[in-house]
Each structure stands twice: as structure tokens, then as C-alpha cells.
Chain A
Amino acid sequence: MSTIASTAGSAPVEVPAQDPLPLAARVRRNLTSRTASVIALIIAILWTVPTFGLFISSIRSESNIKTSGWWMWFTHPEFTLDNYRGVLSSSGDVNLSAFFINSIVITIPSVLFPLAFGALAAYALSWMEWKGRDWTFILIFALQIVPIQMALIPLLRLFSKGLDVGGLTLLPALHLVGAQKFATVWVAHSAFGLPLCIFLFHNFMSDLPRELMEAARVDGADHARIFRSIVLPLIVPALASFGIFQFLWVWNDLLVALIFAGGTPQTAPLTVQLAEMAGSRGQDWQLLTAGAFISIAVPIAVFLSLQRYFVRGLLAGGLKG
């Protein structure tokens, strides 16, 4: 049995007695697979150690973090939650809980809106017949790749200054204060996330069997009905995978948040505050460790529990713009 296990590439049908390879070839294959395992192990360790170091640092005391490397923890183990208290309690040095709430308030609508509008649009692009459909799809596909840098600042000014076309006010200047500013972040994230969303959903929907749609049409169902009772239940996995995508994108975003939400505890999400701390309080290592770990704990939890859907979304292809 051990030979089968170590010749990792062979299919289970291959019985050792019938192995067509001569002994020398088998030995060589075992050796290559051993080298392969060692290299794989090295890469895995290299990829894990930095994150592990952050975690270990976050449970060490401030003075130790600043005076010795985190690997000293193995010879001088210790455990403290002071750093977490320092960033979470209202009496701490930096109160991240306000920013944490901002991240949640920013993320939920920024995921919901593109999900709904994207699904509707993808249905129109895959199963409704209308003039210009193919060109619209190509346009949306191309928009995936356009850098959001092209749109950020004029969109920001659109909110603050409104829109006049030939003396006609299409959109008045919005004077948003406090929590109202969240709305602009939602709009920005929804618009920027839509192209990928529509593309992914279109891929899923156009794979649905034509007979199914035609049968429903024959039964007298219109598009709205087909969308709700046939298509929607079938694309739940796609909804999940884009939902995770967009969640990670929005939760982890720095640029859009920096421009639309600003840097105050009123609206700024965790990423903005962490980037700010890394710049201005770069020497407060203990706060950075705990803060960073809190900010990455949420996406990692979501990611690990829903990894299957996330991978499926990745494989459906897509280029985020």
C-alpha cells in the first residue's frame, strides 16, 4: 500500500504487481515525488510564516514586541490580550470598534445591490431578445478591465456638486453629513463591482438548458416569472460565489474607502484606519498587530467556511477592474 501512496500520481487501478515500470524508473519516480513534497512543504511554510508571526506578535506584551522578534516567543512563551484591549476598548489608545462597525455598514449594501442588479441584467443579456444586446455585453465585459482610477474622482464630485446639463439640474448637489456619506460608498462599490458580477452571472445563466426556458414559455410564463421561479433558484451557487467575492473586495478595499468615506471614525472602515496607523503610529507595533489581526479575522472566517463557492467563482473566470 505504501508504494501506491507515495507514487502520488498513479490512479487506484494501478496494482503494484502489474506496475509496467521497471524498478529503476519506479525508484526515480519515488525520488522525484519526495523532492516535490519537500519543495511543496517549503513553499507552504514560506507562505504561512508571515501571518503566523503576526498572530504570535499580537499575543505578546508591548515591551517584548518592541525589543525582540516574535520567534523569541518559542523560548519565552507568554499570552496577553492587552493589545486587543488596546484597540477594542473605548478607553484604549485607538478604538477600532467604530471602524469595525463602519466596515460592516459599508459592506452589506455594497454586496446586496450589485448582486440584485447584476442578476437581473445577466438574465436580460442571456435570455431576453433585444437590439444591441451583444454589444452591451461586450461593453460590460470590457468595463471589467477599466481601472477604477478612471472613475473615482469625477464620481466623487458628482455627489458633492451635482450634475447640470445645459442649465437643467439632473442631480442636485448632495450635502451629505455623518452617516449619510455611507450611501456614496455603496453607490461607488456597486458600480465598480457590477461588470464582474454581470459577467459571472451571465456565464452561469447562459449554461442553463434552453429546453427548460422554452417549456416555461410554452406554459405561459413571462420573463419575470421565469427569472424568479426557475433561474434564481438555479443560480444560488453563483450568487454565493459572487457574494463572497464582492464581500472580500469591499471589506479589504482601501482606495475607494479612502476617497469616498474619508478618514474619520464616522465613516472610515478598518482598512483606512489601519493604513493610517501604519503611517502615523508606525512605532505602535502592539496596536498594529492586534488591529491587523482583527481586520483579517473576518474575511478569513468567511473565506474558510465558504471556500468551495469562492473557488467556483474564481474558476468561472473574470477580471476585476
Chain B
Amino acid sequence: MSETAQKFLMLGYGVAAFAVVVGVILLVADFAPKRGREKVQTGLFIGPAMLLLIAGLIVPAIRTTILSFKDSFGQKWVGFDNYVWLFSNEDIRAVLRNTAIWVVLAPFAATAIGLLYAILIDRSRFESAYKALVFMPMAISMVGASIIWRFVYDYSETGNQQIGLLNEILVSLGFSPHPFVTDPPWNTVFLIVILIWIQAGFAMVVTSAAIKNIPMDMIEAARIDGVNPFQMFFRITLPSIRSSVVVVYITILITTLKVFDIVRTMSGGTFQASVIANEMYDQVFVQNQDGQGFALAVFLFLLVIPVVIYQVRMLRRQRLEAR
């Protein structure tokens, strides 16, 4: 059997397994004995998802935490050695610094640009076309986006024909070309631009929907009072859509913390542009330093814990209000 046929056969098995599992769940639910049927159905409904979550996320996450206190073979306990390494190693400090720069710049810039754009195009004649253009990068993989941006950042030495758009612009303005991807520390910022390019569309769509929910008479009243656009933004628009802006910011923040694909595709984390997620991959799969890789993963998790707590509190408040 050809390799392609084998793949589609596997796909067939996968889809069949799906049909069988779902069919069996619904069938058993239907024919469960009348007494205790509620209980059986509850178990059947929540069970498969919980099983998948426990086996695929919760248990592995606990194992990662345990292994972060062991050596690279997962044999001997080494206490906090991997964490000490994390904060004392010169290279890793650069990685942490880069991640910090990502976290500071990307969520803020993407949210701000998306919000600005949403306000500018609100109720304009070609609003949906405008939206589609900025939203499009959301559908593109970060790998694809990185390749797209190679044509923006490409660098040839002075005097050579430039293939990268930015360097062509620099040269035609009389400056010398700049190696955007390979020159630290600014190369990190140029990688961040790619993520901003991807995420601004998301920020735009969510904030745009929120803007449309602001009561019209409030805006009209402010207009009649003669407020200027800045007052309108800071006194009416922003306070009215605050919660949406927070959700957008947090979502992009979490994406940014885990950024991997862009760094991997643009430079593989060389030229001092690595970030935590990329370094973790390298430690485990390239350096075979599993314990150190796991420590990086746990550190990443610790960074999102405040967000988790904040989100859970917001959720519980929402649910209390809904009652």
C-alpha cells in the first residue's frame, strides 16, 4: 500500500473511531436502566472530556513539575538546581530579558493599534473591507507570517541590491541597510513587530464589537456638548469598553508569553533572540537537559498564575451577578 493510501486509511480509522465513540456514548445513555439513569448520563457526558483533560493536561503538567526537580535523565533529585541555573546562567538571563521585552511591548502595541483602527474605521463606508485586511494575518500561521516578514527584513550588504522592503526604503532614503534579524538587542523588537502584525486584527475585531454596543445617545450627547475626539476617547469610549480591552490585552499577553513559532522560524533563537518557550524546546530536544527544560516550563506556568487567579475571580464575580 502506498504511503498516501496508508495516511488516508489512518484518517479513516480516526473518523470511524470518532463515530463509534460518540455513537456508543449516546446509545448507552439511551438504554441505561431507568433507575440511576441521570447518574449514568452525567458520567457519560462529562467523563470523556475529563479523562482527556486529566491524561493529556493535568497529569503531564504535574509530571513536568516533578521532573523539574530532577537531573537531565529524570533519575536523581537535584533540588532547586535547575531553577538556580535558570537565574544564574548568562544566556538564560538574556532569554528572560527577551521574554520580558516581548511581554511589555507586544500586548500593549497590538491592543492599542487594534483599538485605534477600530475607532477610525467605525461606521466608515468600507468598514468590512478595512476589517478583513487587518484581520487576515490572524488566519496565517506564525510560520507563514515569519516567511512573509523575511521579505520585509532581508538584508544585503551596502551596495548590493536589497531584497528586503525595509532595507530598500532605508537605502533609497540615503541610510545604510540594517541587519534587522541578526543584530541584537533590537532584533527582538523586530520579531515582536511580527506578532503585533498578527494580533492587532484580533484586538480590532473584539474592541470594534464593543464600540458598537456603546449607546448612541451617549455619544450624541457628548457630541452636542462639543467634546473633541480625545475627550470622546478617554471619557466615553474607553470607559465604556474597558472590560473588552482587558480581555483582549490578557489574551494577547498569554499568547506572547508562549511565543515560539516566530522565534523558531526567523532565527531559531540565535543572535540572542531566544525566548522561554524556544529555550525550553532547545534544552529538552537539542541539549538533552530535560530537567532544565522542565524548569523553564514551570517558570512559564508561574508567570501565568496571576492571570489565572485574576480570570477565575472575574468569572466567579460574573456568575454571582448572573444569579
Is the C-beta of A235 less than 8 angstroms from some C-beta in chain B?
A: no
Looking at the assembled complex, report how far the CB atom of B24 sits from the nearest CB atom of chain A, in whole angstroms.
Answer: 12
- Tell me which residues across on chain A come within 8 A of B96, comparing CB atoms: none
Partner of B163, one of A37, A66, A138, A223: A66
For chain A, the bracket of interface size reads 35 or more
Mostly, the A contact residues are: helix
For chain B, the bracket of interface size reads 35 or more
Looking at the assembled complex, report how far the CB atom of B243 sits from the nearest CB atom of chain A, in whole angstroms.
Answer: 10
Interface bits A240-282 vs B (CB < 8 Å: 1, else 0): 0000000010011111001100000010000100110011000
Partner of B251, one of A53, A66, A108, A320: A320
Is the C-beta of A86 less than 8 angstroms from some C-beta in chain B?
A: no
Assess whether A191 is in contact with B161, with CB atoms less than 8 Å apart.
no
Assess whether A300 is in contact with B255, with CB atoms less than 8 Å apart.
no
Stretch from B56-64, B82-90, B97-105, B184-192 forming part of the interface with A: B56-64
Q: Say whether, besides A121-B50, A179-B10, A9 and B219 are in contact (CB < 8 Å).
A: yes
Is the C-beta of A215 less than 8 angstroms from some C-beta in chain B?
A: no
Looking at the assembled complex, report how far the CB atom of B16 sits from the nearest CB atom of chain A, in whole angstroms.
Answer: 10
Is the C-beta of A141 less than 8 angstroms from some C-beta in chain B?
A: yes
Give the residues from 289 to 312 in chain A that come closer than 8 angstroms, CB to CB, to chain B.
289, 291-292, 295-296, 299-300, 302-304, 307, 311
Assess whether B57 is in contact with A191, with CB atoms less than 8 Å apart.
yes
- Tell me which residues across on chain A come within 8 A of B273, comparing CB atoms: none
Assess whether B15 is in contact with A275, with CB atoms less than 8 Å apart.
no
Is the C-beta of A70 less than 8 angstroms from some C-beta in chain B?
A: yes
Closest B residue to A188 by CB, please name it: B56
Assess whether A145 is in contact with B261, with CB atoms less than 8 Å apart.
no
Interface bits B92-129 vs A (CB < 8 Å: 1, else 0): 00000000000000000000010011011111110000
A142 to B305, CA, bound (A): 9
Provide 9 A-B residue pairs closer than 8 Å at the C-beta atoms, listed in order of the A residue.
Answer: A43-B116, A48-B136, A117-B48, A124-B46, A136-B50, A150-B300, A158-B60, A275-B261, A278-B150
Interface residues, chain A, CB within 8 Å of chain B? 5, 8-9, 11, 20-21, 25, 32, 36-37, 39-40, 43-44, 47-51, 53-54, 57, 65-71, 98, 101-102, 104-105, 108-109, 112-113, 116-118, 120-121, 123-125, 128, 130, 136, 138, 140-143, 145-155, 158, 178-180, 182-183, 186-188, 190-192, 194-195, 198, 222-225, 227-228, 248, 251-255, 258-259, 266, 271, 274-275, 278-279, 285, 288-289, 291-292, 295-296, 299-300, 302-304, 307, 311, 314-315, 317-321
